[in-house]
Amino acid sequence: MGQHQIAERVVSGAVEFDAAEALGRVDNDRELLCEVIGSFLENIRYDLDELDALIAIGDGTGARKVAHRIKGGYGAVGASGLVALAFQLERCPEVSIEEMVDRARAIREHTGALESELRRFVAG
For 80-114, the pLDDT digits (tens) are 889 988 988 888 666 788 888 988 998 998 999 89
Percent of the chain with pLDDT over 90: 56
What is the set of domains in the chain, with CATH numbers? 3-123 (1.20.120)
For 58-79, the pLDDT digits (tens) are 998 999 999 999 999 999 999 9
Q: What was the pLDDT predicted at 15?
A: 58
8 has pLDDT over 60 = no
Q: With CA atoms as reference, report the closest residue to 76 among 123, 41, 119.
A: 41
CB half-sphere exposure, 66, CA atoms < 13 A: 21
| DSSP E strand stretches across 23-76 | none
DSSP 8-state class, residue 20: H
Q: What is the mean pLDDT of residues 39-54?
A: 96
Separation CA 38–CA 8 (nearest Å): 27
